[in-house]
Amino acid sequence: MTSRKLLAAGLATIVLVAACGGATATPTTAPTTAPTTAPTTAPSSQAPSQAASEAPSEAPSTAASQAPSPLAPDPSEAVIPNVESGATINFWTFYLSPTFDQYIKDTIARFEATYPGVTVNWEDHQATFKDDLNNAFNAGSAPDVINLSVSEGWVSEYAGKGLLLPLDDKVPAAVKDTYFPGLWKEQLVDGVNYQFPWYQGLNVDFLNKALFDAAKVDPASFPKTIDGLPTLCATFAKAGNLCTVRLTMSDLLAQMVYEGNVKVISDDGKKFTFDSPEGVAWLQMYVDMVKAGSVDQTVLTTTDDRVGLNAFIAGGSPFYATGPNLARQIKDQNATLYGNLGMVPAPLGKSNVSGKGLMSISVKKDTKYPNAAIALAQYFTNPRAMVEFSKQVAIYPSSPSAYDDPFFSSASTAIEDSARPLAKGIVATYADIVPTIPSKADVNEIVRKAIESALFGDSPVPAQQALTNAVNEANKLIK
């Protein structure tokens, strides 16, 4: 359906307004005591969505809860064998300081107690993260353990350059099995995994229950799959309200994959195939909603997620796909709507996958201490550490067993926390199923023009013709 969500590319970017702004350009080495000042707002970052990534980031509020007392070391967390005694591991994170300094330092201290003899040096890098990392790799001084974005494709980018350590044959099977399979298998390069899945966001829809009542629609009947949206939107249109659904204009082929289960390129990568019956059916769904006058056309193809969010906050839209944390913004701007707000999992497409994961931790290929580095990456992503992180900010673990903690089934009066019981089912559907697209930006522009030619104008182009024209043009870009 629409681009999903204002999920984070770095936790400090979960500032509620998700606005662009300046950020510290130099690395932050973990201080002795946690700073009390909040980080500057991070630049908006493209984030995972049911279809792709285009929305601004959803990151934890700078008003994140204070860290609880540190967890005690637990010998059962030592699950990686043959960790090198005396190892010193350099660890970089992305946009976590200063808000989460205490959590990171407490986890490192517990890790060092669990694996005696290993020392961890932590740095947080922000706006210049990728430049810093590229320069470090070029200088031969890259960190041993690196927080990389799955949603931005950083894992496959660095793994494809031969810079990351392959993990499948180095991590015990029992450890690999603690993660959701779809998350362990993300960002594969030649079928090999190079990342430990870390924190996740959620794909949800906010519901304006007052409009549901007015249209005599039961919120509990909200579609579980996107093919139920046209009928629902037609019902709301009769009641005078347009649906604010949005195409992910920066990655339309990914949206086809997730929503329409469309095979967008041949297995050998030599020709595009998105003008298939599945591709045409996917586009026709949106064409039909435009013809029916049931969707807000201003929102449908905007590149700015805020357009649709603001329309929803204004009270005229029955539902909107976003991230749970944005409920706080609704509370600030429209308390009446907040009082009538519902939240449900975002509808699945025909792929039965709601999107790809968010963040991961990888190990550099030539680390001097591979077992110690693997142990640190695994430690931050293990169920115990992830539950502790989730209690401080609205992110969600990558391991099914983490959701056994009562925290995820606990009742909350805050709408933004009502997604907790939904989280396991949503995260379980995440997988990276979009193939590599050559000349991606150029191909996306071709597809964008084709889709808009089918949606709008006095004489819209038939969906089949529009996509076939796009395939023919895009094929010229394949070398």
Number of structural domains (the chain) is: 2
419 and 274, same domain (yes or no): no
Residue 384, domain CATH: 3.40.190.10
338 closest CA partner among 439, 245, 208, 212:
208
325 and 208, same domain (yes or no): yes
65 and 19, same domain (yes or no): yes
In whole angstroms, what is the distance from residue 147 CA to residue 159 CA?
13
pLDDT of residue 440: 87
- 466 occurs within a structural domain: no
54 and 92, same domain (yes or no): yes
- 351 occurs within a structural domain: no
305 and 331, same domain (yes or no): yes
Phi, psi of 415 (to 5 degrees): -60, -40
Question: How far apart are the two ends of the chain, measured CA to CA in Å?
Answer: 32
- 463 occurs within a structural domain: no
- 55 occurs within a structural domain: yes
Domain boundary among 427, 448, 465: 427
How would you class 441 by CB atoms within 10 Å of its CB: exposed for 0-12, middle for 13-18, buried for 19 or more? Answer: exposed
In whole angstroms, what is the distance from residue 66 CA to residue 12 CA?
15
pLDDT of residue 52: 29
Q: Which domain holds residue 24?
A: 11-201+356-427
- 435 occurs within a structural domain: no
pLDDT of residue 17: 27
Asked if residue 251 lies in contact with residue 51, where contact means CB atoms within 8 angstroms, the answer is yes
The CA-based dihedral angle spanning residues 248, 250, 254, 256, taken in that order and rounded to the nearest 10 degrees: 50
382 and 262, same domain (yes or no): no
62 and 173, same domain (yes or no): yes
The DSSP-derived string for 220-274 is GG--SBGGGHHHHHHHHHHTT--B-----TT-HHHHHHHHH----B-TTSSSB-T
In whole angstroms, what is the distance from residue 217 CA to residue 204 CA?
19
Domain boundary among 306, 325, 345: 345
Asked if residue 12 lies in contact with residue 124, where contact means CB atoms within 8 angstroms, the answer is no
- 470 occurs within a structural domain: no
Q: What are the angstrom distances between the C-alpha of 377 and each of 145, 173, 389, 456?
A: 7, 16, 15, 49
pLDDT of residue 263: 98
Tens digit of each residue's pLDDT, the chain (479 residues): 443 333 433 344 443 222 222 223 334 443 333 222 233 323 223 232 322 233 333 344 433 445 568 899 999 999 999 999 999 999 999 999 999 999 999 999 999 999 999 999 999 999 899 999 999 999 999 999 999 998 888 998 899 999 999 999 999 999 999 999 999 999 888 889 999 999 999 889 999 999 999 999 999 999 999 999 999 999 999 999 999 999 988 889 999 999 999 999 999 999 999 999 999 999 999 999 999 999 999 999 998 878 999 999 999 999 999 888 888 889 999 999 999 999 999 999 999 998 888 999 999 999 999 999 999 999 999 999 999 999 988 899 999 999 999 999 887 778 888 889 989 999 999 999 988 888 888 999 999 999 999 999 999 999 999 999 999 999 999 98
- 153 occurs within a structural domain: yes
160 and 98, same domain (yes or no): yes
153 and 294, same domain (yes or no): no
- 4 occurs within a structural domain: no
**Residue holding tokens 């007015």?**
214
Q: What are the angstrom distances between the C-alpha of 126 and each of 7, 81, 135?
A: 17, 33, 14
54 and 74, same domain (yes or no): yes
318 and 364, same domain (yes or no): no
156 and 81, same domain (yes or no): yes
pLDDT of residue 418: 84
Domain boundary among 410, 427, 444: 427
